[in-house]
Amino acid sequence: MDLLTTARSPWGESIFTHISWSLFWASLVGGLLFLLAHGGYMLFSQHRKRPSEEVDRLERERGGLPAQITRHGFVARAFHWVMAVSMLTLLVTGFLPIVGIRFAWVEWHWMAGVLLTASILFHIVHATFFLDFWSIWVGPKDIPEFKAEMQREMGKEDAPGPRPGKYPLGNRLYHLAVVVAGLVVVATGIMMMWRVRTGLVERNPYIFADVTWGLTYVMHGLMGVGFVGLVIAHIYFALRPEKLWITKAMIFGTISRRNYLEYHDPDRWVADRKKDVA
């Protein structure tokens, strides 16, 4: 089975044209298998929150904390849901024809892509200048947290080591994957706007060589099918009972003081009643 399809260009070159659509099914099945595996694991796993006595102690020590702590400001939430709508539209319009549901999808697809691109550009500016930019990124500094989290996952609830700041490590790694896949899919999608009639740019399929176009389509396809698995995982975690408080925060903006102290390191994510810090 070929994972990438090739063709012979009019000039005799062997060029990539697309990914094999079997990769779409692989991503879909992979996402569903992960969901089953994680769901099964969670049946036997403890949740990684502080013991209640420790949370009680922290509440006493930090009496100045408000009852509701802002996790996501209105602008950040609006971005998230705009991006979610555009991403789901892109996946639906991109992949329903592959599974046999045929409709005129291209126009919907590129329009959703423009919306996604605009929302990402906005998010970059907003996160850079108005939020705690580094709170979502991962790096070597997170290795102690990674070790501690892995030990807690294995059942050692009292493992020493830092607890998450605003975003759990898994959340940050997911964000990193979405950033990489998202930027590739947006960059290649913008290039592909010169291949279709949009009215936004003057169509010219010859602005790149066939080889470049082939790689563009392949990368767009690979990241697109990657998003199938990523989105399945994202929706799955958003709907898990023990994580609904995070999902609600993406709707209403706040979490309770208790959740804040149970799951976060208040020294790494300093909550402020008046200012949305991240």
Instruction: Give whichever of 18 and 243 is closer to other proteins, judged by the CB atom.
Output: 18
Instruction: Give whichever of 16 and 260 is closer to other proteins, judged by the CB atom.
Output: 16
State the minimum distance, in angstroms, from the CB of residue 115 to other proteins.
20
CA gap 176, 100 in Å, rounded: 32
CA gap 127, 133 in Å, rounded: 5
Instruction: Give whichever of 213 and 269 is closer to other proteins, judged by the CB atom.
Output: 213
State the minimum distance, in angstroms, from the CB of residue 78 to other proteins.
32
Measuring CA to CA, which residue among 107, 92, 118, 93 is closest to residue 196?
Answer: 107
In 240-273, where does DSSP find H-type helix?
Answer: 244-252, 257-263
In 68-105, where does DSSP find H-type helix?
Answer: 74-95
State the minimum distance, in angstroms, from the CB of residue 104 to other proteins.
3
224 three-class SS: helix
State the minimum distance, in angstroms, from the CB of residue 220 to other proteins.
10
**What residue type is assigned to position 237 of the chain?**
F
Instruction: Give whichever of 37 and 196 is closer to other proteins, judged by the CB atom.
Output: 196
Instruction: Give whichever of 12 and 139 is closer to other proteins, judged by the CB atom.
Output: 12
Q: Which residues bind other proteins (CB under 8 A)?
A: 5, 7-10, 15, 17-18, 102-107, 195-197, 203-206, 210, 213-214, 217
Which of left, alpha, beta for 199 (phi over 0: left; psi -120 to 50: alpha)? left
State the minimum distance, in angstroms, from the CB of residue 205 to other proteins.
5
CA gap 241, 260 in Å, rounded: 17
Q: Are 169 and 139 in contact (CB under 8 A)?
A: no
Instruction: Give whichever of 112 and 230 is closer to other proteins, judged by the CB atom.
Output: 112
State the minimum distance, in angstroms, from the CB of residue 7 to other proteins.
3
